Structure 1
Amino acid sequence: MTTKWDFWIDRGGTFTDVIGHDPQGGLHPRKLLSENPEAYTDAAIQGIRDLLGLPSGGAIPPGLIGDIKMGTTVATNALLERKGDRVLLLITKGFRDALKIAYQARPDIFAKEIILPEQLYE
């Protein structure tokens, strides 16, 4: 039997969900605000501290932790909501229209009037 906790974390724009798997096999969910600067600097780390019963700001003993697996939608949401810094994409000569052409996927292959969605770039 393992003596370490495993953690699965889903960091979203509003909430961060942390599920801890204790050494005895129990599952412990914890939901925190992703941004709460008055209480903690990082929701995922705070969720781990909470589940381990450790005080805020203290070190997390590495011997208590087995695996940490994290997924996030923060970057995708920032792109779709057009938040974040502007970036530059350089494309090889001859492929200038590759983003516009994309995969040429259309909901109705025989439609004569194709209404394209708004592009995520300029």
Structure 2
Amino acid sequence: MSVPSPSFLPWQFAIDTGGTFTDCLATSPYGERRRIKVLSSGVLRGTLVHHLGGAQYQILVRWPVHVDVFAGYTCYRPEAPEAKREVVALDPTVQVITLDAPFEKFTPGQAFELSGEEEAPVLAMRMITGTPLQVALPPLQLRLGSTKGTNALLERKGAPLTLLVTEGFADILRIGLQQRPDLFSLFIDQPEPLYTL
């Protein structure tokens, strides 16, 4: 039995998307393990350090990327998000960004953000695999978990909830685990249920 070549093995990703951060663990086809943490908004942040002339800027970023995967991303400053520029090139090794047009006003130390208009897990996979925006991701296996749904449920945000249970368990959420600080209290203070009948 032959062992498959690494070029035929898929990337393996395990990603957890939370309310603030998305954590991504990956194993390359060669067995190399990588990890990255990005904002769950799918936005990357950095600092404009120096205007090099034209539409080029020296930047300061701490992204664990060594190849340019950002061509085609949108670049803007948080204080003026309507003044969007397109990234032509971004060299992460020398930390220089080239835009399609310069910003009208520049002050050293200004923050900037990049967005590819993709969800955070896709951004993380692009950064780890070195896959540019216009190119399909390589073959991969994905395990994706999220606390966003749990948070929305607990905070009672989002769409109305439907509960489907096996016959005989309709009151399972009302009964719960029966854990409470004073087990023998005659006055039981129960939290408001997460659903309505």
TM-score (norm 1): 0.75
Q: Name 1:75's counterpart in structure 2.
A: 149
1:113 CA drift (Å)? 1.9
Q: Name 2:176's counterpart in structure 1.
A: 103
Q: Deviations over 1:25-51 (max 9, x none)?
A: 322111111113651311111211111
Q: What is the percentage of aligned positions where both structures have the same residue?
A: 37
Structure 2 gaps of 5+ residues are 44-73, 75-114
Q: Given the alignment of the two structures, is residue 112 of structure 1 paired with residue 186 of structure 2, yes or no?
A: yes
Check 1:103–1:61 CA distance in 2 against 1; reply closer, same or farther (3 A cut): closer
Q: Distance in 2 between matches of 1:104 and 1:50?
A: 43
Q: Name 2:88's counterpart in structure 1.
A: none
Instruction: Give the aligned residue type for 1:54.
Output: T
Structure 1 gaps of 5+ residues are none
Determine if contact 2:161/2:195 at 8 Å carries over to the other structure.
no
Q: Distance in 1 between matches of 2:143 and 2:34?
A: 15
Check 1:83–1:99 CA distance in 2 against 1; reply closer, same or farther (3 A cut): same
Q: Distance in 1 between matches of 2:121 and 2:29?
A: 19
Q: Distance in 1 between matches of 2:40 and 2:175?
A: 33
1:89 CA drift (Å)? 5.4
Check 1:29–1:89 CA distance in 2 against 1; reply closer, same or farther (3 A cut): closer
Q: Distance in 2 between matches of 1:100 and 1:48?
A: 37
Q: Name 1:45's counterpart in structure 2.
A: 122
SS across alignment from 2:178 = coil
4+ long deviations beyond 3 Å: 87-91
TM-score (norm 2): 0.50
Q: Distance in 1 between matches of 2:142 and 2:164?
A: 35
**Structure (1 or 2) with the greater helix fraction:** 1
Q: Given the alignment of the two structures, is residue 12 of structure 1 paired with residue 18 of structure 2, yes or no?
A: yes
Check 1:44–1:114 CA distance in 2 against 1; reply closer, same or farther (3 A cut): same
How many corresponding residue pairs?
Answer: 118
Determine if contact 2:42/2:123 at 8 Å carries over to the other structure.
no
Instruction: Give the aligned residue type for 1:23.
Output: P
